[in-house]
Amino acid sequence: MKMKMKVHLLAVSALALSGCAAQSDVSAAGMAAVPTLELTATGETVPVGTTARDAADDPAIWRNAEDPAKSLIIGTDKRAGLYVFGMDGSKKSFLPEGELNNVDLREVMIDGRKTALVGASIRNDPNNAHIGLYRLDTDRAELTALGKYPAGPGEAYGFCFGQDAQGEIFSYMISKAGNVREMKLSFAGGVPNAVITREHKLTTQPEGCVVDDRTGRLYVGEENAAIWLYDLNADAFVPQRFANVNGVELVADVEGLALAPTGENGGYLVASSQGDNAYVLYDLVTGAYVNRFRLVDGLVDGTSETDGIEVMLGDFGPGYPDGLMVVQDGDNGDQTQNFKYISWRKVLEALEGSE
């Protein structure tokens, strides 16, 4: 079943380079990179428990509208399970679920009750993908498993939610083999159910994905090739190219994807340019390249080799008045991997100052 939303057509436009430079580089591909802004993180989480391995991977954000400083961040340790962190970066709880990769969150009605629903891709079985669904107790900052659901053959990798104007929830499972699978979720009688509704296969390995619920667009990152756009209201479940992994603005691998939405259809798509430790912004309406930035050492150390990212706008307390960006840090010095917090106001001020 297709998501039923008003769709805005993607304008075809040339990539418009913008921004003054904090520095210029040569990309990992050996090509001349465009100027890159430099910012510093505002905070960070405690390290995840898995040591001496690539472990922390993908974050999701729950915003407490009544008390923004009590908002929560969910992060995967892809070797062990799911963490819940506070805005101060402290560990609130941990759910040992084995090998999980990507995570997302939506607020839904289950059995007449508003629920913070968390979903994740489960990688315990390399031959059969599954998704896990969890209820976030926002008062106790704890996760409870609701169930695990088959998501087709192959190893589970990327994952994201989508929600249409009627409140129906869809999940998108991205397999390592390139399959992009849509699954419709239902909660009749308070018991979750998940059914695969349609599928498309990309040529090479994808991972990061994000859905713009306003416009019915699914964005998927094919790591060494492109960011693809799926119109979820179209009859055909096939993508159009949104941005190229070209070694200049976006350097392989393209990893996490996130949205910073404004208005009916505006704002930014943000992508992790893992190959040169940067974050790239694209205009959601035109598809044009906007700018890019890195996180360098400050009061909090900088980031490198970022996998998952997330952005949510709104008030998150004194340090984050306009929104919060959370990114995985692949090299946390002599500690295990963790997640860094960035004030979205810092990003906006850097963009304004580069004009």
**135 within 8 A of 117, measured Cβ to Cβ:** yes
pLDDT at 12: 31
Whole-angstrom distance, CA of residue 206 vs CA of residue 158: 7
Residue 342: left (phi > 0), alpha (psi -120 to 50), or beta?
Answer: beta
Q: In sequence order, what are the residues at sequence separation of 6 or more whose Cβ sits closer than 8 angstroms to the Cβ of residue 127?
A: 153, 154, 155
The CA-to-CA distance between both ends of the chain, in Å, stands at 43
pLDDT, average across residues 260-265: 97
Sheet containing 128-137: which strands, arranged edge to edge?
A: 100-110, 113-122, 128-137, 142-153
The bridge status of strand 206-212 relative to strand 142-153 is: unpaired
Whole-angstrom distance, CA of residue 353 vs CA of residue 355: 6
**173 within 8 A of 158, measured Cβ to Cβ:** yes
Cα torsion 159, 268, 243, 342 to 10°: value is -70
pLDDT, average across residues 225-247: 96
* Phi, psi for 281 (deg, rounded to 5): -110, 135
299 burial (CB, 10 Å; 0-12 / 13-18 / 19+) is exposed
**129 within 8 A of 175, measured Cβ to Cβ:** yes
Does domain 37-353 match CATH 2.120.10.30? yes
pLDDT of residue 37 exceeding 60:
yes
pTM of the predicted protein model: 0.92
DSSP state of 45: P
Domain boundaries, the chain: 37-353
How does pLDDT run across 287-337, given as a tens digit for each residue? 999 999 999 999 999 999 999 999 999 999 999 999 999 999 999 999 999
- The band of 33, judged by pLDDT with boundaries at 50, 70 and 90, is low
Enter the tokens of residue 231.
């119109």
Name the average pLDDT for the chain. Answer: 91
* Phi, psi for 348 (deg, rounded to 5): -65, -40
Q: Find tokens 């509704």 and name the residue.
A: 197
Higher pLDDT, 86 or 188: 86
Whole-angstrom distance, CA of residue 211 vs CA of residue 3: 11
Tell me the CB-side half-sphere exposure of residue 138, using CA atoms within 13 A: 20
Whole-angstrom distance, CA of residue 308 vs CA of residue 271: 9
How does pLDDT run across 93-129, given as a tens digit for each residue? 999 999 999 999 999 989 889 999 999 999 999 999 9
